[in-house]
Amino acid sequence: MGRLFGTDGVRGLANEGLGPELALHVAAAAAEVLARGRRRAVAVVGRDPRASGEMLEAAVTAGLTAAGVDVLSVGVLPTPAVAYLTAVYDACLGVMISASHNPMPDNGIKIFAAGGHKLDDAVEDRIEELVRRREFIRPTGAGIGRVLSQSGADGHVDDHYSLAGTHERYVEHLIEATGRDLSGLSVVVDCAHGAASDVGPAAYREAGARVVAINAEPNGLNINDRCGSTHLDQVQQAVRDHGADLGLAHDGDADRCLAVDAAGEIIDGDAIMAILALAMHETGALAHDTLVATVMSNLGLHIAMRSAGITVRTTAVGDRYVLEELRRGGFALGGEQSGHVVFPAFGTTGDGVLTGLKLMARMAQTGRGIAELASVVQTVPQVLVNVPVADKAVVAVAPDLLEAVAEAERTLGDTGRVLLRPSGTEDLIRVMVEATDHDRARTLADDLAKRVAAL
C-alpha cells in the first residue's frame, strides 16, 4: 500500500480504490487524532454532488460517530465553505467529500483540522498509521456520536449547532469579504454541475452582478463533464453569446476559479493572482509585498511582479503548500496557476467564488476590463505533458530521466526552465517546459515525455 494521502487528501476511484470501508477507517482515525481530549467533539461534514458522495458521506459519518464525534452534516457545499464552517462552529475537524476537478467516477476525502486548516504531513502520517493498524477507540452507550443534518433529523446535538441557513451564512461571508458593489457588471458562471451550483450564482447576484449560470444542474453523474475549469469552451462561447463582461469557471468543489475576458480569451490563475496582487499592493494590503505561488507558475508572472516591486515566493505544487507558506511568513495572498487562490484574511483554503468576487471588485474599482487588467502578465510559452505511468514514485527518480532533465536545463540556460514531478492525485508524471520559443519548449517536452513513457 502506497501513501494514503496525496496532494489534497485521500482520492481514488469510488467504491474501488476509495470504498466505504476505507472512508470509515479514515474518518475514525482522523477523529482519534484531531478530537482527542475533547469531551464532546464535533465534526462538520460536506460533499460535492457526485453520486458516490452519498455512500461515502454515510461511511464517513459512521466512522466519526463510532469514534464518539457528533456530526454536523451541511450537505452539498464548496470545499472552502466546509473549511469556513469548521471554524465558525468551533469544530475539532471538518471533512469534505470530493474529488475536486476529477471525473465523476472518482471521489476523495479532504480533512480539515480545527479552524478549518489543512493538515500538515505529520498529522496525515499519524492518521495513516492508525488506518493501517485498524486500532480505534469505540465508545458505547451515550458516548456514541450523534448526527444533525440540514433537516434537523435527530435534534439531539446541542442547539448551538443549528444548521438553519448554513448556505446563506456562507454567502453572507463572501459578500462581506468582497467589499464593493458589483452592479453594472455581467458575468457568465460555469458551475461544473458541482458544489457551487447554488451558492456561486447566489453570491454573485447578491453582490449586484448580472449573472448567467451554466452547468448548474447537478444530477450526481454530470459533475465536471466537459465543463467547468478544466473545459473552458462552454463558458468562452457563453460569454460571447451573452455579451458578458467576463466569464468565471469553477471546478467540482469550487476551490478553483479561472476566467475568460469579454472576447472569450482565457485568463489563467497566474494572471488572476497578478491582478489581485497589484490591487492589494496599491492599498498596502499585500503583506510584505509578497505573493506566494507554486513552481508551476509561469515565468511571466515572476517578471510582472518583479517590475511592480512584488516578491514571489515559490512552493511545491498543491494549495496546502501555498497555505503553509502563507501562514509561515504572514503573507496575504497566494495561489496556483490552476486557479486556486487563497486570501488568509477571509479563508483557510482556496475559494473559487471569493476569487471571482474579488476579480469583479477590481474591475468595478478601476473601470477596466479584465483583459486589460490581465495584460500585465506576458506569458512565456509553456508546454505541459501528462504521462500515465504504473509507479510514479519510481519513475520520478529514475537516474536516466533525471540526467535527461538536467541536459534539457543546460540547453535552455536562462531562457527557460524544466519541471518534472509526479501528480499528487493521479498516476501521472507531469512534464513541464518553459522557453521563450514555443517550438523549442514543445520539442523538449515531447522528448522528455517519451523518456518517461519508456520507463
Instruction: Give the annotated binding-site residues.
Output: 100, 251, 253, 255
Cell numbers for 263, please give them.
472576447
Report which of 91, 89, 112 is spatially closest to residue 161, judged by C-alpha positions.
Answer: 89
In contact, 73 and 81? CB cutoff 8 Å: no
Neighbours of 262 (CB within 10 A): 16
d(CA 452, CA 339): 27
What does the block give as the cell for 444? 523538449
Q: 100: closest CA among 284, 399, 349?
A: 349
CA–CA separation, 147 and 62 (whole Å): 10
What is d(CA 88, CA 79) in angstroms, rounded to the nearest whole number?
14
> Residue 318's closest CA among 118, 105, 49?
118
Give the strand pairing for 70-76 and 147-148.
Answer: parallel
Separation between Cα atoms, residue 98 and residue 256, nearest integer Å: 13
Contact between residue 227 and residue 193 where contact means Cβ atoms under 8 Å apart: yes
- Of 100, 186, 197, 423, which is the active-site residue? 100
Q: List residues forming the annotated binding site for Mg(2+).
A: 100, 251, 253, 255
Task: For residue 100, indicate whether it is catalytic.
Answer: yes
Enter the DSSP assignment of 195.
Answer: T
Q: 13, exposed or middle or buried, with CB in 10 Å at 0-12, 13-18, 19+? A: middle
Q: What are phi and psi of 177, to 5 degrees?
A: -75, -20
CA neighbours within 13 Å on the CB side: how many for 145? Answer: 30
Which residue pairs, CB below 8 angstroms and at least 24 apart, start in 362-367? 362/275, 362/276, 362/279, 363/185, 363/245, 363/246, 364/180, 364/181, 364/182, 364/184, 364/185, 365/180, 365/279
Q: What amino acid positions are annotated as catalytic residues?
A: 100
